[in-house]
Amino acid sequence: MMVAALAVPALLTSACGEERDPAQEAADVAEIRAMHDNPPAVPVDPQRISYSDIEKNDLFGAGCGFAPENSLSVIALAQPDRGFLKLGGEILTLSPDKGGASLPMDSWQNYSGSDFAFELMRTSETGEQSGVEATSWPGSLRISDRQGKTVYEAGGTLQCGA
């Protein structure tokens, strides 16, 4: 059946007096297969991790939180032994890459789970004291899906403290 489906376009183009370059035809088929086998990333919209989420899921502890620009709402938490995102109303727990780059308060730059991973970055080495035990830096958050495709990216504030 597949042979017949490929033969029809070839017959139609040759019937019109047009000859197709076999190499170009193979490249076109490969491009279509690649698009089918490797679909585009589906963007996500991380939600605010509220104090009630922290209480309900026992997310207390020292670490770092990320809030996107023009917001005070934390959408990612990084702690020494776990990281958190809230997607679709659900708190996701991710594991740190303890062999990678570290952040203050024994937290890590990279965390991954079964469906998503995130990377927190300080975009400046100069931080500003923002509380008795907290420091803030300009930062960024990148969330990727299980294929490693970026599904969310934002600049904002990375705040670390106890």
Provide the domain limits for residue 18: 2-37
- Of 53, 41, 134, 153, nearest in space to 93 by CA: 53
- Which single residue is written with the structure tokens 């659900």? 90
44 in any annotated domain: no
Q: Which residue has the tokens 């197709």?
A: 20
Does residue 45 belong to any structural domain of this protein? no
Residue with tokens 């040759």: 14
Residue 46 lies in a domain: no
What pLDDT was estimated at residue 121? 95
- Helices then strands, counting H and E runs in the chain, come out as 3, 11
What are the pLDDT digits (tens) for 141-155? Answer: 999 999 999 999 999
What per-residue string of b and e applies to 1-16 under the rule 16 or more CB within 10 Å gives b? eeeeeeeeeeeeeeee
- 31/97 same-domain check: no
Indicate if the pLDDT at residue 40 is higher than 80: yes
Q: Are residues 8 and 30 in the same domain?
A: yes
CA pair distance 144, 117, nearest whole angstrom: 5
Instruction: Note whether 131 and 66 are same-domain residues.
Output: yes
Residues 146 and 77 in one domain: yes
Q: How confident is the model at residue 91 (pLDDT cuts 50, 70, 90)?
A: very high
Count of the separate structural domains present in the chain: 2
- 122 with 88, same domain: the answer is yes
Q: What is the DSSP letter of 100?
A: S
Does residue 43 belong to any structural domain of this protein?
no
